Chains A and B, each alone.
Chain A
Amino acid sequence: MNRQIRQLAVGLMACYVVLFVALNYWQVGRKQELDARFDNTRQVLREFNKPRGPIITADGQVAAVSFPTAPGEPYNFRREYPTGDLLADITGYYTFAFGSTQVERLYGDVLTGSTTEQQVRGLGDLLGGDVGTTGTVELAVRKDAQEVAKFLLGGRTGSITVIEPSTGAIRAMYSNPTFDPNTFVNADFEIAQQAITDLQNADGNPLLAQAYQERYMPGSTFKVITTGIALESGILSLDNTFPNEREWVPPQTNDPIQNYNGSLCGGDLATVFARSCNIPFAQLATLLGPEAMVDGTAAWGIGEELPIDLPRPAASTFGNTTNLAQELPLLAIRGFGQSEVQMVPLHMAMVAGTVANGGQMMKPYAVQATYDQAGRVLDRTEPEVWKTPLSPANAGIMTQLMIGVAERGTASCCIALEGGIPVAAKTGTAQLGDPNNPDLSHAWIIAFAPADNPQYAVSVVLTDVQSTPDVAVTGGRLAGPLAKGMLDYLLTGAGSQPIAPQPQPPTPPAGSTIPGSTVAGDGT
């Protein structure tokens, strides 16, 4: 029998050798293939179950934080957003099944402490008894500024963006509609799926951060860029005057271009800029020609994705330029921000910032610093120049033009700041010409203050306003108070008191603040 027992031993040993070989096959041989399979959630889950550091605002408020869950819960941590929907556009969300967005996505490795530097530092700290390497992300955005922006919008569709012209730091960036990540990040799969699907199908795409991921027709605010290009090219100076005319026929067509409401408009550059006549800027665009306009807009960053430190930024566009030489009327219209021109709201804040910053356009950033678990700085965002579309001298001229808009032009109704702080602005009203909704307009304003020592540049856009011939809307009257409220709060702390949403004024005539003119042309 001993022979059989020995054979049995060999047989059982062989069985276990087979198991060992199979184990090697799965754990080593096919490891990479199995790890890469689309339905393999191990890596994601492990990542998800790591402790995750908080996101805090520039004024030290918690925007996102993780709490350990009770034992037995499916995941080790709950991610909570104490500010609700206030900072959702910036922080984004962090879910297991539906990925992550914004800062949560881009700074995930810092938050979980997976960067090499954090790992190395964590190793050193382990000797001192510290466990864990989670990082903290500090936003450039201020919670208080964000609250004021949200309050000023008062539920209206649109966005408010505030940047620091000299650094590019985004101090506020709020847009409606938005969402509250708390409603789904910790929910069960089905509930979360339903919530996200609902948000995806909702009007206005709440999941998108419209302020930097969406673009809109800029209307007359674009005249800042057209004027800037013309100044840089040398064909324009403060001395130029434009004839007082009601309509002008561009080349290659018989259709005339009109000022706003077909009004009579003209004068020197400061006047036509302040009154926002259309014809002068159509003429400037035509005079510059397609090539100079395309190159000029590119110098302002148009056509490039905004260099923001958040995922999936939009790019502003000057429209299709392939055949522009044969479409000079289109070029003329684009000169005052209509037709196919579309600008990202954040980009418009950067345009104001460029003028404020002596002609240098800074890279915008939403995160100003990252810290390791012991509070030591990992990385601090260094301000960087992105574009330089204006010379300092021309930036000075542009500042004068924009001060004119605020003092005696289309924004004079509504932008005068508390304490008489000088402010520079440009308004815009874009009529979309949507056949289904002919009155749909965007009301814009961009501004910076103090005009003599700029600290903040702001862009406000209300994207869902109705402009009828009876009740015409203008960027100055609708968006202006919001820019004023924002700048007042930031510069003097005022403006945090309620400001009622501006009702439509009973009657135009818009631009009646400018003596001697019937209507201030504001957009087409």
Chain B
Amino acid sequence: MSDVTTFAAEESHAVVDSPLARSRRTTELTLVFMAALITGAAYTITALGTNAEIPPGIVVFVAILLGLLLCAHVMVRLVARGADGTLLPLAALLHGVGFVMITRLDDELAGLQATWSLVAIGAFVLTLLVVQRATDLARYSWLFFFGGAFLLLLPLAPGLGVNINGARIWVSVGPINFQPGEFAKIALAIFFASYLADRRELIAASTWRVGPFHLPEPRYIAPIVMAWGFAVVVMVFQRDLGSSLLFFALFVVMMWVATERISYLLIGTVLFGAAAYFSWTQFGHVQTRVDVWLDPWQDPLDRGYQIIQALYGLADGGLTGTGLGRGNPGQVPEAQNDFIFAAIGEEWGLIGASAVLMAFILLVGAGLRTALRTDRTFEKLLAVGLTTIVGIQGFIIIAGVIKVVPLTGITLPFVSYGGSSLVANYVLLALLIRLSDSSARRLGELPDEPTPTERWKAWRLSRHIRRADRHGSSVEGST
């Protein structure tokens, strides 16, 4: 009995020092400062470029910016100090660049986005606090499945769903509009990681064959077929091509990584291709998107206007950009939203836009490095899934804006205006940081300390034991 007490007492002691974790946090703090510096400077220069005066609220702006980022950083330091040091600064940089651009485009939206930034950092902190062990998530996988499905289908509910710009992906409750799909993709990624981690051997083992394809037991692939169904529902009923493509890419990539069989990638691509072709033949809005992609100049004042203006903006920006605040990105409809990358390309030039691309590549790299480092299948798959969401979503919208693929309305993670998107992406970031921290602890880079909940449980247990000792009754009896 006294052994247990000693152990608990030791554990409640100060945090054990770890050079690796410390250096990562120092890196993170330095990079966060640099992200804040870049954001603050860009904010000032943009205001100078727009109306030749230093913004009056610059000190307050930088103070709030630093306050928020430091808040996030301190939380990482407290509860995930072994995590990769680049994830948070990269997100902060993208978020900052996006915010400066939104401020430049629309003051009113900037105010809203500032509020959403507050909420997003709050969600980030909350996620880190609630999800103390990545493996905890696997326990609720079916909850995430149904929750994700519910969120995904919510906009189709009469009275709740709202059609905006032709896509039914919004839910309106009272004064609040949000896009539940942004959260659904995280929930479904968690479900898939858990499901595939449990059954990957079963799915990989093909027990029957159709033509040249070896297929697993139907019951094992049923949820995956359902997921494909979700993607089709999103495409057909919500008319949201981008999200549909994103969901599908997410499922297919996770299947492929989990089963280590390239055939899933191929089958998935063929299935999506078939669905896409079908919708192209059946739906006018899909045909419009494809026509505009092939030749926006056939209808330059209406359907092709947005993409043409985006390309003119990019061309006007050229290599070095028109200068912050010196371009006319407002010419592009929805520049603060789907087309924010075009606005950045116009004012920050090829150099600035490439920096944004680099930030995404680095973010993806950090996410996949986490997936490589961890030894648990669930965490590996979850890291892959979350990283794929950010990487593919960024690619889909940027490629749409610069006419590489047909345009599909979807937000640019961390950069675009939009509360749901920002909050969801910060939750995603928190999960990646949690995964990164878990893997670092398991690799022994820092001691695997108990989480606050575990400490609390241990403390409670020790209290019971002490009481039991004092009262002479058994431990079991008092719990």
Contact = CB atoms under 8 A, between A and B. Distances in A.
A30 B402 contact: no
B388 A28 contact: no
A13 B360 CA distance: 10
A116 interface: no
Interface in A393-424: none
B349 interface: yes
Contact of B364 (A9, A35, A45, A132): A9
B399 A4 contact: no
Given A5-B372, A12-B368, A131-B52, 8 more contacts: A5-B371, A9-B368, A19-B402, A22-B402, A23-B350, A27-B317, A40-B316, A42-B316
Interface stretch (B254-262, B273-281, B426-434): B254-262
A3 B258 CA distance: 11
A39 B371 CA distance: 48
Nearest to B329: A42
Given A1-B258, A8-B384, A16-B395, A31 B318 contact: yes
B371 A46 contact: no
Contact of B361 (A16, A33, A131): A16
Contact of A30 (B48, B315, B360, B377): B315
B361 A42 contact: no
Nearest to A42: B316
19 contacts: A1-B381, A3-B260, A4-B256, A8-B253, A9-B365, A9-B368, A12-B361, A12-B392, A15-B399, A18-B399, A19-B357, A19-B395, A23-B350, A40-B312, A42-B316, A42-B327, A46-B322, A46-B326, A132-B52
A90 B326 CA distance: 31
Contacts of B353: 23, 27
Nearest to B394: A16
B300 interface: yes
A243 B305 CA distance: 78
A255 to B, nearest CB: 61
Given A18-B404, A28-B318, A42 B328 contact: yes
A45 B368 contact: no
B313 interface: yes
B161 interface: no
A381 interface: no
B94 interface: no
Interface in A2-59: 2-6, 8-9, 12-13, 15-16, 18-20, 22-24, 26-28, 30-31, 33-35, 37, 39-43, 45-46, 49, 51
A461 to B, nearest CB: 45
A35 B354 contact: no
A68 interface: yes
Interface in B368-388: 368, 371-372, 377, 380-381, 384, 388
Interface string B383-424: 010001001100100110011100000000000000000000
- Smallest CB-CB A-B distances: 3 pairs: A34-B315, A42-B316, A4-B257
B231 to A, nearest CB: 19
B51 interface: yes
B155 to A, nearest CB: 28
Contacts of A516: none
A26 B353 CA distance: 12
A102 B379 CA distance: 71
Place the interface of chain B in its size category.
35 or more
Nearest to A35: B315
A498 interface: no
B311 interface: yes
Given A1-B260, A35-B315, A16 B368 contact: no
Place the interface of chain A in its size category.
35 or more
Contacts of A435: none
- In terms of DSSP, what is the predominant structure of the interface of chain A? helix
Contacts of A35: 312, 315-316
Nearest to B368: A9
A13 B365 CA distance: 9
Contact of A49 (B260, B328, B384): B328
Given A8-B253, A45-B328, A131-B52, A20 B403 contact: no
Nearest to B390: A12
Contact of A28 (B257, B350, B360): B350
B314 interface: yes
Contacts of A34: 311-312, 314-316
A297 B151 CA distance: 88
A469 interface: no
B319 interface: yes
Contacts of B312: 34-35, 37, 40-42
Nearest to A40: B312
Nearest to B308: A39
A76 to B, nearest CB: 8
A30 B314 CA distance: 10
B181 interface: no
A71 interface: yes
B331 interface: yes
A51 B326 CA distance: 12
B300 A39 contact: yes
A97 to B, nearest CB: 14
A303 B3 CA distance: 115
Interface string A98-142: 000000000000000000000000000000000110000000000
B304 to A, nearest CB: 10
A205 B271 CA distance: 67
B107 interface: yes
A340 to B, nearest CB: 47
B372 to A, nearest CB: 6
A20 B354 contact: yes
B315 A31 contact: yes
Residue with the highest number of chain B CB atoms closer than 10 Å, among A16, A24, A40, A45: A16
Contacts of B258: 1
B197 to A, nearest CB: 10
A148 to B, nearest CB: 40
Given A1-B258, A16-B360, A132-B52, A27 B315 contact: yes
Contacts of A51: 52
A27 B347 CA distance: 12
A45 B48 CA distance: 18
B260 A23 contact: no
B399 A19 contact: yes
Contacts of B89: none
B345 interface: yes
Interface string B313-345: 111111100100011100100000000000001
B354 to A, nearest CB: 6
A49 B349 CA distance: 19
A417 B381 CA distance: 101
B180 to A, nearest CB: 26
A6 B372 contact: yes
Contacts of A43: 316
A7 B319 CA distance: 32
Contacts of A22: 399, 402-404
A27 B320 CA distance: 9
Contacts of B388: 8, 12
A1 B399 contact: no
